Chain A
Amino acid sequence: MSRNIAVRESALCVRALHVGHGDRAILRGLDLDVAEGEVCAVMGVSGAGKTTVLRVVAALQPFSSGTVEIGGVALQPGAVPPESQLRALRRRVGVVFQSHALFEHLTALENIMLAPVHALGQSRADAAATATRLLESLGVSARANAYPRQLSGGEAQRVAIARALAPNPQLLLMDEPTSALDPARRSALGESVRVLAAQKRGLLIVTHDVEFARSFADRVVVLSHGTIAEQGPAIEVLTQPTHDATRELLR
């Protein structure tokens, strides 16, 4: 765990991020960095603002002030811009939703091929080859022609990961990826996450799974009431907590 963060390229750089909802502050001046090849776990009790961070970075939710920069693409405070102005960002950021959000009317393979064909203009043959390779690497190639409702929770998640990876993003966001997995599947997912990091991707993973974060994240950021309570190397933070919010997580 002695990776030198300073010399690596930044995959995500967030400074002084404020997000309000009505007169309630959800995030209050958050600074957050994810380097290429780094797995960063965002933790915290419910309502700490974990998911909000993820949605702001994915340009699904507006923010009031601060800066968000993803591989040279900056997001501005205020309303989320139309999709036509988000092309560059969409290519760089992939999102895996907690409930997978697969397109119910398409097969696993078609789910993965949709963006490469229609958003990136790849040929169907190329997109299918990439999709098949991704499914193989995640161990679900046998389910390529199944529809989402025919997939188990673990299979659906791997298809969702493959779908997010198909446009080859530099930053991958995952929301509570272990919530529906048994222990065996959880470590398999952890291995996949490490492989993705080894491909020089940055990973920002929102989770409340302490065991998962300790085993597979490089760094942990603990949020409390919209600011960072504690952050540092995963093993350190999650074995010798210095803040009440972290202790509460470990309890």
Chain B
Amino acid sequence: MIRIATRVLSIAAVLGATWACAKPPASSTSAVPTSTEPLRWGGDAEGGAPFVEADAADPTTLRGFDVEIATMLAQALGREAQFVQVAWASIEQSVARGDFTIGMSGLEDRPALHERFAVSLPYYEFREVLAVRAADSARIHTMADLRGRRVGTLGATMAWEMVLAAQSTHGVVPVSYDDDVHPYTDLASGRVDAVLLDHVLAERSLRRIGGFVIQPEAVARGHYVAVLAARDSALRDTVNATLRARMRDGSLERVFRSWNVWDAQQAAFQQQVLRDSVPSGDAVTTGRDTATSIATYLPVLLRAAVITLLLSVLAMALAITIGIGLAAGRVYGAKPLRILITAYVEIIRGTPVLLQLFVLYYGLSDVVRLPAFAAAVIGLGLNYAAYESEIYRAALEAIPTLQLEAARTLGLSELQILRLVRGPQALRLALAPMTNDFVALLKDSSLVSVITVVELTKQTAIYATNAGSWAIPGALCALVYLAMSLPLSRMARRLEQRWKIA
């Protein structure tokens, strides 16, 4: 709960910093007059230290090794560095759009990147390492040791691709996260059995959270790079020259040392870079042509669509059941009950569903440890119940009083009146807004990727990152969503027509 709160606060602070805009990172204020416009670079401050994080002492300034490297690059160009906040998975797409010139924030090098972007020299070599609970440290060393076990990692990363590959080769169960903190808390609490991520992230979480060990063997190696648009290849060459110069004069080493991520491996790696014999990383993915990528990903997208549909149907069923109860309580209940229900409805409607999902899944995990899918159904169900109850309440109140009085004079009990007269007519009125809500729920279900459920949108994002473009994955995803929502709207319209004649 506290973690979520601080996390939300830090995101807010960073957004504030971005909008306030003018402030460059602290270290760049020292010298170099800006002769041209600032060098805009994008990263994700939610990724946190040691990459990019909001300064705890002054949340409007940023710190991290990526911040210092960006400042170095800007200074070499005689420009000021200006940070642009962007979600990590969207950094490359934002570069392509021209939101900023350079994207860097622990960005992993992979072959597909070079097809569409001007990619800098690698400036850091990371190891993909397995984190396991201490009790398992003697047993689990490689992916092969994890058959049938749950392995968590950040979605849309090299590690995710490796876990997916291990799913087919070793039978591991992939669990995708949207952030790099919760995989480790879930590891400590037993929700997953191992986490595969960069050693930088693993070591950071070990310091902060603990409760697990990092296996020393590297499962794979990869590199962090800066990404520029293909048209900026000349600027990329300047960036490369700067990176080489800073490797030679040791200032890059000083940066990494100050963030505690320097080791012997990095020294060897920098020598290789300077000798122009850059070791290639172990990235799993290779460039695929469009047709192959569609053929590979379509079945995966369809499977994810089934998750989305199942999740939405179950959540809606829950929302309808609870919503009817809430509406009945609000229309018929005593005053204290009405106040209680009104408070519930207002709290749920007044706070983001994302926050509610976080609280339910992570915040309450000490009290009740829900499986991710169940948490998603319950979270969305409870949220939509508040909206449904308002629809039903309005519908119940729309039934003419005279009809209710007529029913009373006929000797029907209040419950019979609700069941036989008021309810059925209210349901007809509620049908159209309920259909709207279900279609909205179908789309809101994409939010549950924050609690590790991989549904259609998350799967599409993974596909898009892999393909290096949103065009085809986005179109396929839209088609699948429409294929689910259009028949529904049509059915509702038909039903409405039939009831209108009646």
Contacts and interface: CB of A to CB of B under 8 A. Distances in A.
B410 A167 contact: yes
B420 interface: yes
B502 A58 contact: no
Interface in A112-131: 114-115, 118-120
Interface residues of A, number: 30
A64 to B, nearest CB: 21
A53 to B, nearest CB: 15
A103 B411 contact: no
Interface extent on B, as a size class? 20 to 34
Given A60-B405, A118-B416, A118-B420, A105 B410 contact: no
B254 interface: no
A97 B400 CA distance: 13
B499 to A, nearest CB: 8
B413 A115 contact: no
Given A114-B420, A118-B416, A118-B420, A101 B403 contact: yes
Given A114-B420, A118-B420, A119-B416, A103 B409 contact: no
A83 B405 CA distance: 11
A90 B413 contact: no
B412 A114 contact: yes
B408 interface: yes
B428 interface: yes
Contact of A120 (B406, B409, B411, B424): B411
B408 A103 contact: no
B414 interface: yes
A99 interface: yes
A16 to B, nearest CB: 24
A17 B356 CA distance: 57
Contacts of A163: 406, 410
Interface in A56-106: 58-60, 82-84, 86-87, 90-91, 93-95, 97, 99, 101-105
A147 interface: yes
Contacts of B355: none
Contacts of B420: 114, 118
A115 B413 CA distance: 10
Interface string B393-433: 00000001011011111111110100011001100100000
B409 A83 contact: no
Majority SS of interface residues in chain B?
helix
A60 B408 contact: yes
Given A60-B405, A147-B502, A105 B412 contact: no
Contact of A119 (B400, B411, B424): B411
A26 B195 CA distance: 78
Contact of A83 (B408, B421, B424): B408
Given A84-B413, A97-B402, A114-B420, A105 B408 contact: no
A107 to B, nearest CB: 9
Contacts of B412: 83, 114-115, 118-119
A95 B411 contact: no
A101 B410 contact: no
A166 B425 CA distance: 23
B421 A101 contact: no
A82 B414 CA distance: 9
B168 to A, nearest CB: 55
A95 B425 CA distance: 22
B411 A101 contact: no
Given A101-B402, A103-B403, A94 B428 contact: no
Contact of A58 (B409, B413, B425, B501): B409
A80 to B, nearest CB: 9
A105 B501 CA distance: 10
Contacts of A86: 408, 411
A101 B402 CA distance: 6
A83 B414 contact: yes
B359 to A, nearest CB: 41
A95 B406 contact: yes
Contact of B502 (A60, A84, A105): A105
B413 A83 contact: yes
Contacts of A149: 502
B425 A119 contact: no
Nearest to B426: A105
A97 B502 contact: no
A163 B499 CA distance: 22
Given A97-B402, A119-B412, A103 B407 contact: yes
Contacts of A91: 411
A58 B407 CA distance: 12
A87 B411 contact: yes
B410 A114 contact: yes
A85 to B, nearest CB: 11
28 contacts: A59-B409, A60-B408, A60-B409, A83-B408, A83-B412, A83-B414, A87-B411, A90-B408, A90-B410, A99-B402, A101-B403, A101-B405, A102-B403, A102-B406, A103-B406, A103-B421, A103-B425, A104-B502, A105-B424, A105-B425, A114-B410, A114-B421, A115-B411, A115-B412, A119-B416, A147-B501, A147-B502, A164-B409
Given A87-B411, A105-B425, A147-B501, 19 more contacts: A60-B409, A83-B408, A83-B411, A83-B413, A90-B408, A95-B406, A99-B402, A101-B405, A102-B406, A103-B403, A103-B406, A103-B425, A105-B424, A105-B502, A115-B410, A115-B411, A115-B412, A119-B413, A163-B406
Interface of B: 400, 402-403, 405-414, 416, 420-421, 424-425, 428, 499, 501-502
Query: Closest 8 A-B residue pairs measured CB to CB?
Result: A90-B411, A119-B411, A115-B410, A101-B406, A95-B409, A101-B402, A147-B502, A101-B403
